[in-house]
Amino acid sequence: MMEAKNTLSKYFSQSDGDGFIINTELPEFPLHKDIEMNSGLNPSEYGEFCDYLEKNNKILHGDDISLLPPAWLAELLKIPNRIVVMRSKQHGKIIGTVMSFIIPVRVKENNHTEIISHGCTTGLNVIGPLRKLGMGLALQLKIASECVKQGTFCSYHMIPRKIGNNSVKLQPWSRPVNLQKIADAGFTFPGLGKLKPKTMKKLYNVDIPSNYSYQKVTNSNMHEALDLYFKFLDENAKFAFWPDADLWRIWIDVFPTYIIMVDGNPTGLVSACPNYSRIEHSNKDIKFLSPVVCVGDMDSVIPVFHHICEKLDYDCVYYFSLQGCIKEDVLKKYNCQENNSKDWFVLYNNRVSLELSDIHVPLL
């Protein structure tokens, strides 16, 4: 097998050179003879794929289970993607998974700018007995290889450990919306059990001022919304989601997207991604909503996003990190709390140097 150390140095670290892409060769990582890795996923396999993740996909911060309903997987796969499924040759069962959603990213550094296709890699999972044996890295390199075959040489990953020297620590935040359901599920949050119910309700109120409003993006106003996205995006953003009209049309279909307004004037834009979790100690399921695009004036975008979360009957708002336009002071202002984190944003095969505030791409 290729030595992991050399692989990390080659693909997951910053290095000298021209341009952002480090290597254009096809990565390889030999596997054990009893393991096979298959590319792609048939609709008939969605249920098996999701069942595997439900049994094996512990959330990075604890023992809770991250759920992926087959219907939601089918929606996600409308976005250009590559999937790798690791199976045992002996019994044919799934023993590992990884997905990569192909999106364009504008990369900008030292007066040099390129729009480069990246894989937003997620769903990396290896069955317990095979962990710490290099199988996770094998899956990462296999999915990278599948992306290279169609011209995507770079990717980014959200994983529980730092790899190489091109990694950025993520800081998640959350906020309850359905107080009773979140409490019944066993979550703790400031004020629970200490403040009176009326005080708690006021503290976590998601009503918005009468001059705040929002408009859902549809095919009829998608071009206006895309223009607003680029208008509100920080022009100096070093690593930014850069969709064209074709991808944007798919994007708004998969992720409900809203134009945020104050006094009828657009002040920002947000795309919402639903997530599902089972709390192990209470065996309760909760639904939470996360922004995968979030630009503009956060003093209006954040409270309206919380309001939308309640209107769509979600239990909690979850921010995978302070990133891009999302700032700590605004989240605190609207009663979000910092979560314990072991997550890292890891950049693969791109030598651009990033800090947390430089990251303006969706985390899935």
| pLDDT range class, residue 248, cuts 50, 70, 90 | very high
pLDDT surpassing 80 at residue 194: no
Ranking 23-27, 220-224, 273-277 by mean pLDDT, the lowest is 23-27
End-to-end CA, the chain: 30
Of the chain, the percentage scoring pLDDT greater than 90 comes to 59
Task: Name the residue type at position 318.
Answer: Y
- CATH number of the 4-165 domain: 3.40.630.30
Distance (Å, whole) CA 350 – CA 165: 11
* Pair 352, 107: CB distance under 8 Å: yes
* Pair 290, 317: CB distance under 8 Å: yes
* Beta-bridge mates of residue 241: 105
pLDDT surpassing 70 at residue 4: no
Each domain of the chain, given as residue ranges in start order, spans 4-165, 173-340
DSSP labels, 283-325: TEEEEEEEEEEEEE-HHHHHHHHHHHHHHTT-SEEEES-S-TT
Tokens 């911060």 belong to residue: 61
pLDDT value for 2:
42
pLDDT surpassing 60 at residue 59: no
Would 4-165 and 173-340 be classified into the same CATH topology? yes
Q: pTM of the entire structure?
A: 0.92
pLDDT value for 61:
47
Distance (Å, whole) CA 299 – CA 288: 21
Q: What angle do CA 296, 301, 302 make, to 5 degrees?
A: 125
pLDDT value for 129:
77
Query: Per residue in 119-160, pLDDT tens?
Result: 999 998 888 777 777 788 889 889 999 999 999 999 999 888
Distance (Å, whole) CA 146 – CA 98: 11
Query: Per residue in 205-221, pLDDT tens?
Result: 899 999 999 999 999 99
Query: Per residue in 284-341, pLDDT tens?
Result: 888 999 999 999 999 999 999 999 999 999 999 999 887 788 999 999 999 999 887 7
Distance (Å, whole) CA 243 – CA 79: 12
* Pair 10, 165: CB distance under 8 Å: no
Query: Per residue in 266-282, pLDDT tens?
Result: 999 999 999 988 887 78
User: Which SS3 state, helix, strand or coil, does residue 326 take?
Assistant: coil
The pLDDT mean for the chain works out to 88
* Pair 103, 241: CB distance under 8 Å: yes
Tokens 């006021």 belong to residue: 202
The token pair at 113 is 């700018």
Distance (Å, whole) CA 340 – CA 160: 12
17: how many CB neighbours lie within 10 A of its CB? 10
What's the CATH superfamily of 173-340? Gcn5-related N-acetyltransferase (GNAT) (3.40.630.30)
* Beta-bridge mates of residue 119: 102, 155
